[in-house]
Chain A
Amino acid sequence: MNAKPKGVIGQSVQRIEDRPLIIGKGMFAGDISFAHQLHMRIVRSSSAHGVIKRIDTQAARALPGVHAVWTAADIPEMGPIDFREGKIEKLEPYRQPVLAIDRVRYVGEPVAAIFASDAYTAEDAADLVEVEIEDLPVIMDARAATGEFAPGLSSEAAVITQGFGDTASVFATAHAVVEIDVTVGRHSGVPLETRGAIGRYDAARDVLELHGAAKVPHKNKETLARLFGRPAAALHLFETHVGGGFGVRGEIYPEDILVLAAALRFGGAVKWIEDRREHLMAANQSREQHHKTRAAVDEKGTLLAIENEFWHDQGAYPRTHAMRVAETTCGILPGPYRVGAYKALGHYRLTNKTPAATYRAPGRYETNFVRERLLDAIAAKLNISRVDVRKQNLIRSDEMPYARPLCVLEDDVSYDSGDYAGLLDKSLKAIRWDELQSELAERRKRGELVGVGLATFVEKSGLGPTDGAHVCVDTTGAIEVITGGASVGQGFETVMAQVCAEALGVDYRNIRVVHGRTDRIDFGIGAHASRATVMTANAVHAAALIVREKALSFAAELLQSEAATLDIIDGRVIRRGESEGPSITLGEIANHLRPAAKLRRGREPGLSADGWFDTDHQVYPYGNQIAVVSIDRETGAVNVEQYVIAYDIGRAINPVLVRGQILGGFAQGLGGALYEEFLYDERGEPLSVTFADYLMPTANEVPKVDVIISEDAPSPRNPLGIKGAGESGIAAVGAAIASAVDDALGSPGAITRLPITPQRLKRILNRLASA
């Protein structure tokens, strides 16, 4: 481990953004209101697939307080919703219209929009809209025969392949072949705060504003400016406090476009707040994939080749992420292991369910489950331990950086650094793996169903290519850091302040961090895919170093010293090592650098700077998760008794915040492993549209987790050595718990599907009992 520097980086300092949240002064989307605003309510399809025969809005229009009712015919200029990363030729015809045109393809699809004086009237009016739909056959399983999305367009929108080496010949000659057939259930991020969008047209300045933005304000601004044909300066996005992002918040959905279009047309403000039922049928769902995977191994369990064919259940339309989850699935599946040859074949299939997109650790939660199931199957087949089969296949630290001819998010996979086996040893020690085996054996003898399972994984984070930041010291010495980042509650402001504070030599609490406002900075990478700290913090670091340089160079002249002999301590430039000598504060320097200041003498005005960080590749943190579970034989319930998460983050800016990310992610991972699932009936009716049916783990269900934050492998790809933290806690929970449940059952490979509900597990128990 690196020696801890004494600066504020690496310290678990308190968050600077918490005060308004704690005293109830937070500003979430629901808190945003403008005078005379209209309230929008969406009329949603009650049919999973059908032809719209008639939409009668007359009664709704006649209701007092209703301002307008729109169907697709009212907004012909609003084309389908674009992909975030630009045009994708083969998916263009599959894009979702803002309001359904001619056909509906999932229950919950927006069909009409009501604009009324208040939310109650809007909902009353929505009830009065009559939508007549002639049902068409539905596709509810991505593995079923394909159908037509539209005449001549197959429901298999794309086939994705990646791979390297000649798998066929390896399989033909391998010592053994191990096959699995596994399914990850449909679930998603379900933030406490539902989506919300407030569109406002400011006629005085001719600016169209979207409030309630999250995650990727700058990217969305680009897309929306293009859609509305407005110059960049005439459309702005404003982030509020965000009550959880997790991938689903902050994408462009039909509702965002509708509030903007209505604000523009009606010349005022239009507010929409999603209700929970809507959220569970309209916000992006995720995860649902079926994998048929096989491995060719030698007699010691060395992975010679993997072939993976999978069916990705995309739901009714591609969304802004297009095929990213399926592509990541292909690129990341081999994880932390060496594989001689690899072939992935993904069927990107449209079904009549809510559209799918990214959810925290997209493509990894799924593939960690698949790959670790495969490793367990190899261990069982060859009768070697689950630890040994992993250890001998893990990529070694002397093989780093480890490139493999695969691609994730259009970036060639190249693991930057890591000691995978070393971290696994730490985790095994933490759980007392060897003693645990005999303890569990003892309990099994007494009739208990107990077991332990493990999963190893590689995360990806910090996708570039570039992010920038602006650091500015005012004449009082207060500092503003302007970023194009976003905060989804993760502690963004604190982390940026810590990095700036250390580079500049100031108190991090004296720094304000701006994020999520497109009117303050032209570019911004947002907060997604664990990149904010890697990209934005490194940009802040760069900007702060330039400001530091400017301050020192000015002070050098004033203090008649070499800049190299000066230091900045707590916002004051001093001679290095002299706490009593001459000094000048950053505020005083900023004052001397005012445009009209006499001492400026041709220097660029202002004590401020832009900083940029460019990178060629993502960075790859890694970890292990180990679960100890017991099973209630009679009910099929799984109790997680112990859980260890070990994670190497390269360098933790604020360990408590990292821990928070890991624990929060774990709770969500537990949901996907045991509780959460979006179910549909055979006609496509969603069955999980309330919190009584879509089961999120609560404080009662989430066990204590031991978190090991390791800093053995700083990234060589950025000056601070940072890797991302956001998705490690969730990434392998399904994998580890499945392995532990198998072990408790004494039946390797028994678990083939997530979530492991008591109903499903009881069926397995009954089957094993009768066998």
Chain B
Amino acid sequence: MKPAPFTYHRPLNIDEAARILADVAEHDGRIIAGGQSLAPMMAFRVARPQHLVDIDEIVALDVLCIEDATLRIGARVRHSRFVPGAIAGPTGEIFAKVMPNIANYSVRSRGTFCGSLAHADPASEWCALATLLDAEIIARSVRGERRIPVSAYFDGAMSTTLAPDEIIIEARIPVLREETRTGFYEFSRRKGDFAIAMAIVAFGVENGRITSPRVSVGGAEAYPRRIREAERALDGAAPGADAFAAAAEAAAAAVDPMEDAVTDAAYRRDIVRAATRRALEQAMQ
């Protein structure tokens, strides 16, 4: 579990990082920030990048703020930054609800939000949240800057539409309206494990009716997605057991669950159902 040989680069600004990556991308050059997924993969020699471009020195990537009703998350922002109160409003609340469920203390102290988006693990909580919140991924390369809507970002398990020479420098997230209710539930064998499935929800309640419902399901398929069937079941309904059960059922029916050696599709579907309902219930608490 010693990594294969690689060349280590430590640029001081974004332009330099983009230049280096442009040079080394075709030799499997990779960006590293927190390294909490990449480094173990290198230790197993599953990943064998010949070059690592460490963006940890680039202070400009530390941005974490709300500007023009958009939450900006720079590429050096660690998971652990999203404590309660760090970000105002319901957007901050859902980030703070999700964050403690990511892996363990040391991973949360080092791993980054944008790194999770780049790694694109099917069970990544941040990928599911970015999906829920219609995030925009800001990608930089020597060719310029590109804004990728999250709906066009994932294209498979641990696979994205990011080009090999592009660096995620920031994620931008339109903030939720005040009064928006949010909920999160995931199920894993142990706390901090990759979830078997998860659901993150957001909705408003006006005049006793659900408005603007959003349901994002992660861990069940190759990448997270909004479940429109569940959202339709909620839209305009009275918040409560019936609507939540209907949405949960719709989510369970809509997903095409992955299977592995220990978890079959039927079980994952059961978990999607439970997670969706529990996330919705949590939003009402």
Residues of A in contact with B (beta carbons under 8 Å apart): 119-120, 123-124, 127, 275-277, 634-637, 675, 679, 681, 687, 690, 692, 695, 697-698, 700-701, 757-759, 762-763, 766
Contact = CB atoms under 8 A, between A and B. Distances in A.
A277 B263 CA distance: 22
B264 interface: yes
Most buried by B among A123, A277, A634, A692: A634
26 contacts: A120-B2, A120-B5, A123-B1, A124-B5, A275-B1, A277-B1, A277-B44, A634-B274, A635-B270, A675-B189, A675-B190, A681-B261, A687-B261, A692-B194, A695-B189, A695-B193, A697-B190, A698-B191, A700-B190, A700-B191, A700-B192, A701-B190, A757-B262, A758-B187, A762-B267, A762-B270
Contacts of A687: 261
A40 to B, nearest CB: 13
B271 interface: yes
B134 to A, nearest CB: 29
Contact of A127 (B45, B190, B264): B45
B273 interface: yes
A119 B262 contact: no
A643 B262 CA distance: 28
Nearest to A701: B190
A701 B191 contact: yes
Contacts of B273: 634
State the main secondary structure of chain A at its contact with B: loop
Contacts of B194: 692
Contacts of A119: 2
Contacts of A763: 267
A679 B261 contact: yes
Given A120-B2, A695-B193, A690 B274 contact: no
7 closest pairs, A vs B, by CB?
A634-B274, A275-B1, A700-B191, A123-B2, A120-B2, A759-B267, A687-B261
A692 B44 contact: no
Nearest to B189: A695
B4 interface: yes
Contacts of A636: 267
B190 A759 contact: no
B4 A124 contact: yes
A716 to B, nearest CB: 45
A635 B191 contact: no
Contact of B262 (A637, A759, A766): A759
A636 B194 CA distance: 17
Contacts of A697: 190
B31 to A, nearest CB: 23
Given A695-B189, A695-B193, A757-B262, A634 B2 contact: no
A88 B194 CA distance: 46
Interface string B225-267: 0000000000000000000000000000000000001111001
Contacts of B263: 759
B84 to A, nearest CB: 20
Given A690-B44, A701-B190, A701-B191, 10 more contacts: A119-B2, A120-B5, A124-B4, A634-B274, A635-B187, A637-B187, A695-B193, A700-B190, A757-B262, A759-B263
Nearest to B268: A759
A435 B22 CA distance: 71
A698 B262 CA distance: 20
Contacts of B187: 635, 637, 758
A91 to B, nearest CB: 32
Contacts of A700: 190-192
Contacts of B193: 692, 695
Contacts of B270: 634-635, 762, 766
A635 B190 contact: no
Contact of A695 (B1, B45, B190, B267): B190
A635 B271 CA distance: 6
A759 B187 CA distance: 12
A762 B262 CA distance: 12
B2 A698 contact: no
